[in-house]
Structure 1
Amino acid sequence: MADQFTPTEHSQLWDRFRTGSPGAFSQLYRSFAADLYSYGYRLVRHKELVEDCLHELFLHIHENRSRLGYTDNIRYYLCRALRRRLAESVERLNRLESSPCLLDRPAFLTHSYESLLIDEQVVAHQQRVLETAMNRLPKRQKEILHLVYLQGLTYPQAAEVMNLSIKSVYNTVHVALKTLRGQVKPYSKHQAFFGF
């Protein structure tokens, strides 16, 4: 999802939150919780685990708000923290029993900006084709595309969230988009199929 705040608005909201504003905390939760849940669920297909980690994350930042560092991109900050928390939880569960796998066949929901201009049935068909193609991508490619195109992170931010080099992120996005183009091209009756 594209960001609704400018970097200045991000830093102002974050600073109000860090100084104890209850309204700022409520705004943080309302603005980011749904997207964070969606991101977490794409990583770990386990509803309760994602909900627990998300609630723990918001509780943690609330309790430690005065010690938190500066940020001018709250979405990036929270995505990175949630991913780390989920990875730790999955690792703990893996030691105890079989647990959900990171990015285990997530159902990416893609929305075309052109959907208002073309017939709903064609859009539904294109979405199914693209969703199927996305689910065939390797886990890393799916996660990077989600961070960059659905969460609106920059390439350097996605690289830091995933602990990769920026070059790896660029290369992975390039390969993923090339693969998607190849997979959706045979089904496309329109020149611009989801912008590919």
Structure 2
Amino acid sequence: MNARLSPSEHIALWNSFRQGDPVAFAQLYDLFAADLYRYGYNLIRNKQLVEDCLHELFLHLHENKARLGGTDNIRFYLYRALRRRLVDTATRSGKLNSNEYVFDNAGLWIDSYEQVLIEEQVAEQQKLVVLYHLNQLPRRQKEVLYLVYMNELTYQQTAEVMDVTIKTVYNSVNVALQTLRAYLCEPLPFQKS
């Protein structure tokens, strides 16, 4: 079954879902979740909020399926429900002014949901690689990088905190960054070549 359902297919799928068919519920999710996510992200540029509202919507549907009305256009029903949920949640949390039009600050976003997940996984993998290599550095170099880059202290402040000369801080940062560059060109010991 594709996402371009006829009105009679919409009715049949929706009614099966409302009668408790778990396969119909899974089909609803498979057919509409990715499009709903893209629509929600175009409304509110906040991935976590959109994901939370989308999951809450499907949970609400599942828990209240017997009380839901009929529809001959599931997409319309779900878009309207998600939009209402997103705007209400964003307004309550202060992320959206109640009289602000949600599409004002959003450009159209067409990346697939799968592409976003892949990008997030790649970013997470890169973060793990950097963290692994940071932990290979000597203690003093880790401390200097922590103070300078993670806590945004100046070199002078870092020197005072560590009770070393500013030249030592400069040298430690330089050596640590050179070492990290070299590490990042090598595969991790637990990665396949």
Q: TM-score scaled to structure 1, two decimals?
A: 0.51
| Residue in 2 that maps onto 1:130 | none
The percentage of aligned residue pairs carrying the same residue is 57
User: Within 5 Å, which residues of 2 pair with 1:113-192?
Assistant: none
CA deviations 1:87-134 (Å, max 9, x no partner) are 11011111xxx5597225323257xxxxxxxxxxxxxxxxxxxxxxxx
Extract structure 1 runs of 4+ deviating beyond 6 A: none
- Structure 1 residues 49 and 20: alpha-carbon distance in aligned structure 2, compared to 1, 3 A threshold: same
**What SS does the aligned partner of 1:89 have?**
helix
| Residue in 2 that maps onto 1:9 | 9
Query: Does residue 31 in structure 1 map to residue 31 in structure 2?
Result: yes
Q: How many residues are aligned here? A: 107
Query: Does residue 91 in structure 1 map to residue 91 in structure 2?
Result: yes
CA distance in structure 2 between the aligned counterparts of 1:43 and 1:59, rounded to whole angstroms: 21
| Residue in 1 that maps onto 2:170 | none
| Residue in 2 that maps onto 1:67 | 67
Structure 1 segments unaligned to the other structure (5+ residues): 111-196
The code of the aligned residue for 1:13 comes to: L
| Residue in 2 that maps onto 1:175 | none
Q: Is the 8 A contact 1:40 1:82 kept in 2?
A: yes
Q: Is the 8 A contact 1:37 1:50 kept in 2?
A: yes
| Residue in 2 that maps onto 1:81 | 81
Larger radius of gyration: 2
Structure 1 position 3, deviation (Å): 5.0
- Structure 1 residues 86 and 55: alpha-carbon distance in aligned structure 2, compared to 1, 3 A threshold: same
**What SS does the aligned partner of 2:5 have?**
coil
Q: Is the 8 A contact 2:50 2:86 kept in 1?
A: yes
| Residue in 2 that maps onto 1:165 | none
Query: Does residue 52 in structure 1 map to residue 52 in structure 2?
Result: yes
- Structure 1 residues 109 and 55: alpha-carbon distance in aligned structure 2, compared to 1, 3 A threshold: closer
| Residue in 2 that maps onto 1:40 | 40
Structure 2 segments unaligned to the other structure (5+ residues): 111-193
